[in-house]
Amino acid sequence: MLLRLLIICVTLCAFGMPKSGRIPKHDHEVRDPIHVFIHFDSDERKVIDSRPLQRLRHIHQLALTYLIYPGATHKRFEHSLGVMDLAGKVFDIVTKEQNLSEDVRKLLPEVNQDKKRTYWRSVLRMAALCHDVGHLPFSHAAEDKLLPSGWNHERLTAEIILSNEMNSIWAGMTPPLRPEDIVKLAVGRRKAPPGMKFSRWEEILSEIIVGDALGVDRIDYLLRDSHHAGVSYGKFDHHRLLDTLRILLTPATSEPALGVEQGGLQSAEALIIARYLIYSQVYFHPVRRIYDIHLCDFLTQWLTAGKFSTELEVHLSMTDNEVTAGLREAAFDSTKPGHESARRIICREHFRVIYERNPSDLQINPESSSAIFHAAQKNFGAECVREDKYTQKGGSLDFPVLQRDGSCESSLALSETLNKIPVFAIDYVFVRPEKRPEAEKWLEEKRDAIIKEGRKKEDE
Amino acid sequence: MNRLKQDALLSELADQLRRRGSWCGETHMQKATYFLQDLRRVPLGFEYMLYKHGPFSFDLRDELTAMRADGFLDLSERGPYGPSLVPTRLSVELRNDFPKTLEKYGSDIEFVSDSLGNRNVAELEKLATGLYVYFEHASRSQVIRAKILHDLKPHISISDSLEAIKQVDAIVERSA
C-alpha cells in the first residue's frame, strides 16, 4: 500500500499536476448489457455528446416491437456504442501482425504503416459510432414513402457526418479525420454517395461494419435485440467469431475480403442461423409488421406533405418522442390527422392476419398473396385491407475460410449448413379486426379460385 | 420490365449457361447478366457498379435470392465456387407464361451463353471488367485498355489483361 502511494506521488511530481488537483481523464467507459464495458477516448466522447448521437437516445432500435415484446425498448444509441466497440475489436484482431499473410500485406499496404493504421482505426470507430445517425423516428423502414425521392437514411447519415457541426469535431481531432472517409465506412459501397470511390482497404473496413455475412452492425443488433426482446434466437458465440476473423484472399479471384479461420466457421454458421430465427420470430412477427404499417399510415397524414424533412435541423429535432406525443394526441381526438391509424396503435386495435405466404400456394401462383390482397380490397374496400411483403436481401453467404494448411476455401464450399439455411420471406394480408370473421369465411370459400385465376401472364 | 418477366429471363439464362457446361453460381449469373443487359441491351433494369470482383449488381443479388425464396432457383451440390443455381420446375412453368418475352430476347440469351458458358469465375471477372473498361474507354487502344484493366485489378497481369481485352473486343464485334 505504502509502495503504491509512493509510486503515485513520484508519478505526479514527475509529470506535473493540474491546478485543480485532478488528473484529466482521456479514457472513458460505460457499462453495457452486451459487452459489459465499452471504452472510448475523449475525441469519441465529443462525438457521443454531439446532437446527432444524443438524438439516438430517443430512437427505438426496434420501432414498435415493444408492443409485442415489452422488453424491446432499447435505443439506437446503445447499439451505436456497441458497434463502435466491436469494430475496434475486429480491427485490432484482423490487423495483428501474426494474423496477416504476406499476400494480404502486399495488397493492403496500409496495414504495414503505424500512422495509417492508427488513423484508420479511429475512422472505423467513428464510422461505426455514426452509422445510424440518419435513421428516421422509429427507425422506420418505409423510407421510400416517408422521405422525398432519392433520399434514404444512409444519405441522411452521410449529410450529418459531412455537416459543419460534425466537421468541427473531425477537424479538432489528432490527427484530424477526413469526413468523406467516415462516410465511406459508415454507409458502405452500396449506399455511398454517387462518385465516391473505394480503395481495397476502404472496402474491407466498410465490410467490418456493414458486411452482409460478418459485419459488426449485425453482430451487435442480433445480440442486443435478442437480449432485450427476451428471446434466445439471436444469440451465438460471438467471442469465438471475433477471435477468428481474418482478412483473407477470396479463392477464385484473389481479392481480399473479411473471412474466418477454419475454427470459427461454426460460430459464423451460428450467426447466420441466429439471423434467420430472429427474423422469423421477432422482426417479422405479423403484429409487429402491421403496427409498422399503421405507423406509416399515421405518419403520411400527420407529417407536413406526408414526408419527413431532410433538412438537418428538422431531422435532428424529430425523434420517437415527438411522434409518440402526436400518436397519443391523434388517437383520442377524431379531428386530428391520422386519428384512425393512431387509435389502432394506441388502443391495440390493429388489423388481423387473414392470409400468409405458403409454399403450396406459391406453386400455383408466385404472387398468391397479391392476388388475395387485390380480391379482398375489391370485396371489403381498400381502407379495410393491408398487404405486407418482404424477402431477405443479400446473396448467399460466401466468405473465405482459412484452412489449417494455409489455403483459403469458399465458406459455401465447406459448409453444408450455410447452403441449407432457407431464404427468409413473408407475405401477409391483413383486414380490419371487425371484418375478420367475415373475411375468413370469404377466404375459405374463394381462396383456391382467387389464387388460380389471379396468376398474371402479362407477356410482351 | 416487371419482376416475373425478369425472373423468367434470368432462369432461362441460368438454364442455357448450365447446358453449355457453366457451373452457374452467383458470380457466373452476375457476369452473364451484365453482358446480357449492358452489351445486348436487354432491359432488365439492374444497376451495376465496379466492385471487388468486377461489375456487380446488388439489385441482381437480391433478385437471385428472391428467386430462391419463390422456388424458381434451387441451390445444388457444393463445389469449388459454392453451390450452383439450378432452375426448378416452377421456373419452367413461369417461363411458359412469357413465351413472347422469351422469344424476343432468346437470341440474346443464347449469344451470352455461347460466349460465357464455358468460362470459370476468374475468367469471367477478367472479361466482365474488360467489358466495363470497353464501355468507359471504347476509343482507346487495346494496350491502353489492358493497362487500365490491370490498374483496376492488379492481380491480373498485363499479358492476361491484354488477352482479356482482345477476347472482349471479339465478343463485342460478334455482338454487333
Q: Closest to B101 (Cβ–Cβ): which among A413, A419, A459?
A: A459
Residues in chain B within 8 Å Cβ distance of A456? 4, 97
- Interchain proximity B26–A460, CB inside 8 Å: no
Which residues partner with A352 through β-bridges? A431
- Interchain proximity A392–B53, CB inside 8 Å: no
Instruction: Return d(Cα A201, Cα A387) in angstroms, integer.
Output: 42
| B65 to chain A: closest CA residue | A395
Which residues partner with A30 through β-bridges? A38
pLDDT (0 to 100) of residue B154: 83
Instruction: Work out the burial of residue A203: count CB atoms within 10 Å of its CB; fewer than 13 is exposed, 13-18 middle, 19 or more buried.
Output: buried
Give yes or no for a contact between A413 and B82, defined as CB atoms under 8 angstroms apart.
yes
Residue B99: other Cβ atoms inside 10 A:
14
pLDDT (0 to 100) of residue A10: 47
B51 touches chain A (CB under 8 A): yes
* Cβ-based neighbours of B163, under 8 Å, separated by 6 or more: none
Does residue A166 surpass a pLDDT of 70? yes
Q: Residue A99 carries which side chain, given as an amino acid letter?
A: N
Residue A274: other Cβ atoms inside 10 A:
21
| B90 to chain A: closest CA residue | A363
| A457 to chain B: closest CA residue | B97
- Interchain proximity B72–A458, CB inside 8 Å: no
- Interchain proximity B65–A398, CB inside 8 Å: no
- Interchain proximity A253–B4, CB inside 8 Å: no
**Segment among A367-381, A406-420, B68-82 with least mean pLDDT:** B68-82
Instruction: Return d(Cα A394, Cα A111) in angstroms, integer.
Output: 29
Give yes or no for a contact between A281 and A231, defined as CB atoms under 8 angstroms apart.
yes
Q: What backbone torsions phi and psi does residue A337 show, to the nearest 5 degrees?
A: -65, 140
Instruction: Return d(Cα A423, Cα B75) in angstroms, integer.
Output: 11
Q: Tell how strand A256-261 and strand A400-402 pair up.
A: parallel
pLDDT (0 to 100) of residue A18: 52
Does residue A366 surpass a pLDDT of 90? yes
Residues in chain A within 8 Å Cβ distance of B100? 459-460
All three cell numbers of A454, joined, read: 389471379
pLDDT (0 to 100) of residue A14: 46
- Interchain proximity A190–B58, CB inside 8 Å: yes
B122 touches chain A (CB under 8 A): yes
Residues in chain B within 8 Å Cβ distance of A416? 78
Instruction: Return d(Cα A49, Cα A57) in angstroms, integer.
Output: 11
Q: Is A35 helix (H, G, I), strand (E, B) or coil?
A: coil
Q: What secondary structure does DSSP assign to chain B, as a single string?
A: --HHHHHHHHHHHHHHHHHTT----HHHHHHHHHIIIIIS--------EEETTEEE-HHHHHHHHHHHHTTSEEE-S--BTBPPEEE-HHHHHHHHT-HHHHHHHHHHHHHHHHHHTT--HHHHHHHHHHHHHHHHSTTS-HHHHHHHHHHH-TTS-HHHHHHHHHHHHHHHHHH-
What are the pLDDT digits (tens) for A281-313? 999 999 999 999 999 999 999 999 999 999 999
Residues in chain A within 8 Å Cβ distance of B71? 359, 362-363, 366
If residue A178 lies in a helix (H) or strand (E), which one and from where to where? none
* Cβ-based neighbours of A343, under 8 Å, separated by 6 or more: A330, A331, A332, A349
If residue A450 lies in a helix (H) or strand (E), which one and from where to where? helix A436-453
pLDDT (0 to 100) of residue A460: 67
Which residues partner with A245 through β-bridges? A260
Q: Give the mean pLDDT of A197-201.
A: 92
How many alpha carbons lie under 13 Å from residue A297 in its C-beta half-sphere? 23
pLDDT classification of A5: cutoffs 50, 70, 90 = low
pLDDT classification of A100: cutoffs 50, 70, 90 = very high
The CA dihedral of B20, B21, B27, B29, to the nearest 10 degrees, is 30
Query: A139 vs A312, which has greater pLDDT?
Result: A312
Provide the sign of the torsion angle of the four alpha carbons A289, A291, A295, A298, taken in this order: positive
pLDDT (0 to 100) of residue A20: 57
Q: Closest to B75 (Cβ–Cβ): which among A362, A392, A419?
A: A419
B86 touches chain A (CB under 8 A): no
pTM reported for the whole predicted model: 0.91
Instruction: Return d(Cα A158, Cα A429) in angstroms, integer.
Output: 36
If residue A249 lies in a helix (H) or strand (E), which one and from where to where? strand A245-249
pLDDT (0 to 100) of residue A454: 85
pLDDT (0 to 100) of residue A141: 75
Q: Closest to B82 (Cβ–Cβ): which among A363, A398, A460?
A: A398
Give yes or no for a contact between A282 and A231, defined as CB atoms under 8 angstroms apart.
yes
pLDDT (0 to 100) of residue B159: 95
Residue A255: other Cβ atoms inside 10 A:
20
What are the pLDDT digits (tens) for A26-41? 899 999 999 999 999 9
Does residue A17 surpass a pLDDT of 70? no
Burial A362-399 (b: 16+ CB within 10 A, else e): beebbbbbbbbbbbbbebbeeebbbbbebbbeebbbbb
Q: Closest to B2 (Cβ–Cβ): which among A414, A419, A458?
A: A458
Instruction: Return d(Cα A399, Cα A184) in angstroms, integer.
Output: 21
pLDDT along chain B (176 residues), means of 10: 95 97 93 98 95 91 96 82 88 95 97 96 94 95 96 90 97 95
